[in-house]
A and B are shown apart, each in its own frame.
Chain A
């Protein structure tokens, strides 16, 4: 490659709002219900039906706007986006076109070069379409449960320059909506879906390249892979002297490649016009203030608290705030122990690993705070803490009782540990030889043997000190 290229990436993210009922009728919005059990004449777009706007949708969308530093419109309206598709019962989608609810916001993401600001062009409200289900026996079937689920579409500025930044943005956006409590934002269930706009250009140029849209990415990994693939594909095309065409592509996870769906010339004319069935949204300052007051502290605010008040590292702080449930858990436990750094590290390394993806934390903040205290006061070591966590998981057990019952108390008695050091060294003359000729790994190996003999209970710091003493004394 003779020239250096950069990607220019913008995201359009659809997020389902968990308002409990649909945007224009009173049908429930629960995920995974039997097909066509959460629908009514309005969802089906039956002749004569009319939309009634769910006010909670506006409230949640305003929350999304405030949480992403947007300006909130005092006057916004709905428009009809007209097109024919079997998943669209009315043959138009009620959306917002030229007067969206929120505009000109931004969020911050962490990158290798520090914090970066990603602009939010706009956030607008719209209704979700029905779901088409392809059935071998009956062909394509329509499930109206999803029709009329409220969505916000969050459109970013083309401010991202790599797949990593795109994923970081998406994760941060997800974390913000989770904190604001407006969506489950589960990409695997489709309550958060992402379209990527990507073009490439020679680094340093101002002019944008030809924009390609990749539709309907439903995981962080897919976003990462699709952007990486598309970047390579576009660069290769330009290097080969080909020109790119503006088009919409789809990503195929099984091959990791993107395929053309349609080129821009085929684009529909949506014939947007103001929705006559819904009066405009009019918001005053008092309403916006009231909504603003109902937003809990957002991840950036919590992250700052962790760094400034608890002295946590930037990395640990960022990791803790990614999931609101984790951050809430940390906050509850941090109120019960002074050992916050140990607590953070233990939660991030051990509790999250134990939990696996999507599960709940099956221990209480008090139990974990007690473990942090025991680690902090050297009553147990890391290996004992792990065993203790395993024993406590899903129970209401008392950590203090369990360490005696499981005999996990750390061995810190110097005489006993000196004896252990001597014995280990005596048993492994070859390791001692290695140590003498300067192999650092030999010390680790000896430590491992000694720890194992102690049943994992030895205080590793004292033990290491005594082994070194013994070795140097020989």
Chain B
């Protein structure tokens, strides 16, 4: 029989529905697995043993009474540590919030709990979600389960590593510029950034408010659809959350991609993209054609401006969002201070890491009087142009296809220059800038055996089309990317 931790979330759900297994057994299996693996992988910052077993036991009682809250009642999940969990530390992998325990839960946590999910613990990340390797975590190192000498990607590195290492059947991450898709790509799993507004942001510690979106990291596309179902939908606590009723995402799968029109932007088939990655994407394009889709190589010139636009807007918003960490109301506070200005200065100097400081300074600069027009205002205008270009492409195409990253997972410490790391986000940021959904699915491996991710974009609120195409490709690639 297949090991519990090797089953997908939907396989677990089916086994639970069939009473072949209990949530307590599943949860114990995962907690045991975490005990064995977390020392090496470092995916979890907090493991909520007692709470998880209690939730599992409650789930089992519900199922025994025939009162399961959902098909996923009793299936465990891991949570990125920037999503607030009432009574459980939510650190953002920062010294600033090392001991912070929120008094409320994020909307997605409430939604998971009301569907009976069992939360296993909180997952490592780049500090405040700023980074692409989880090396910016102030609280621990997460290794890529595929090759532990390499980074798992980031910022949701703990989430991707946990799913890849079978330490959670699925996990939630947050994606501001690729932070779900890029680590999913590096670890060989599936990562989805939903449409901006599909999932409530209430309770995710804000990095860049106009870009942040919570998304699932899963073993395969079917799990991804099921996980998205659990967390999406209107929320009266997030003004930008859509009132649109989410469709049945799982129901969109299995329809194939015959007749779909797919655009392949030449901007992401250039020299800067590693040859193995390029050939994997081109191979995927061939598969699409084989399956009856039409693939056109197109030019989307505005994509070249997405990266600078992203860094200006995200840093500007971050500089404002992170200003609240001032040593007064909550979080860490510099000791032995007697003036309030000194408290601000010392607290923020001591407890923010270098990357966070860099973004705050960049954001403060681009919003400063005298520079606002040249940077922030211009970036907002370019953003509109990028949105328009995507919209015009989505009049003609169902899907835009690119690599998820120009390269595969790198070795720890290999990328020292922030610019080199920033450039790695070039393929993922357009989805956040345009507010559209995007998914990364495994599409092969490079010469060194490292996973390569294929990214698909669809128009806003067309997760259905996106998941349908991803599922068809995944079936062709052969399952959960191994």
Contact = CB atoms under 8 A, between A and B. Distances in A.
Given A86-B328, A91-B326, A49 B202 contact: yes
Interface string A273-303: 1101111000000000000000000000000
Given A45-B329, A90-B323, A271 B368 contact: yes
B426 interface: no
Interface string B181-214: 0000000000000000000011111101110000
Contacts of A90: 323-324
Interface in A416-431: none
B427 interface: no
A111 to B, nearest CB: 39
Nearest to A277: B209
B202 A84 contact: no
B205 A47 contact: yes
Contact of B323 (A49, A82, A274): A82
B316 A273 contact: yes
Interface residues of A, number: 29
Interface string A40-68: 01001111111111000000000000000
Tell me what chain B mostly uses at the interface: helix, strand, loop, or mixed.
loop
A80 interface: yes
Contacts of A5: none
Interface string B295-328: 0000000000000000000001101100111101
- Specify which of A50, A52, A53, A142 lies most central, judged by the most chain B CB atoms within 10 Å of its CB: A50
Contacts of B204: 48
Contact of A47 (B237, B324, B367): B324
B236 to A, nearest CB: 7
A92 interface: yes
B132 to A, nearest CB: 22
Contact of A279 (B202, B203, B237, B240): B240
Contact of B106 (A48, A89, A273, A278): A48
Given A82-B320, A86-B328, A91-B324, A50 B237 contact: yes
A80 B320 contact: yes
Given A52-B239, A269-B369, A271-B320, A47 B210 contact: no
Contacts, number: 102
B320 A50 contact: no
Interface in A122-173: 142
Interface in A59-103: 80, 82, 84, 86, 89-92
Nearest to B96: A47
A276 B316 CA distance: 11
Contacts of B367: 82, 271-273
Contact of B84 (A45, A48, A84): A48
Given A276-B210, A277-B239, A45 B320 contact: no
A269 B202 CA distance: 29
B238 interface: yes
B91 to A, nearest CB: 10
Tell me what chain A mostly uses at the interface: helix, strand, loop, or mixed.
loop
Contacts of A49: 104, 202-203
Given A271-B364, A271-B367, A48 B328 contact: no
B151 interface: no
Nearest to A45: B324
Nearest to A41: B104
Contacts of B330: 44, 46-47
A368 B325 CA distance: 60
A53 B239 contact: yes
Nearest to A47: B205
- Specify which of B100, B323, B376 lies most central, judged by the most chain A CB atoms within 10 Å of its CB: B323
Contact of A269 (B206, B240, B368): B368
B440 to A, nearest CB: 25
A41 B103 contact: yes
B102 interface: yes
Contacts of A271: 319-320, 364, 367-369, 372
Contacts of B340: 86
B97 interface: yes
A65 B306 CA distance: 41
B171 to A, nearest CB: 18
B329 A89 contact: yes
B344 interface: yes
B239 A278 contact: yes
Contacts of A48: 83-84, 90, 102, 106, 202-206
Given A50-B239, A277-B240, 17 more contacts: A46-B103, A47-B331, A50-B206, A50-B237, A50-B238, A52-B237, A52-B238, A82-B320, A91-B323, A92-B320, A142-B329, A271-B368, A273-B317, A274-B380, A277-B209, A277-B239, A279-B240
Interface of A: 41, 44-53, 80, 82, 84, 86, 89-92, 142, 269, 271-274, 276-279
26 contacts: A41-B102, A46-B102, A46-B330, A47-B90, A47-B97, A47-B100, A47-B205, A47-B331, A48-B83, A48-B203, A49-B203, A50-B202, A50-B206, A50-B238, A52-B236, A52-B237, A52-B238, A82-B320, A89-B324, A91-B324, A92-B320, A269-B368, A271-B368, A276-B210, A276-B317, A277-B240
Q: Which 9 A-B pairs have the closest CB atoms?
A: A91-B323, A271-B367, A276-B210, A276-B209, A47-B205, A48-B203, A48-B84, A269-B369, A91-B324
Interface of B: 83-84, 90, 92, 97, 100, 102-104, 106, 201-206, 208-210, 236-240, 316-317, 319-320, 323-326, 328-331, 340, 344, 364, 367-369, 372, 376, 380
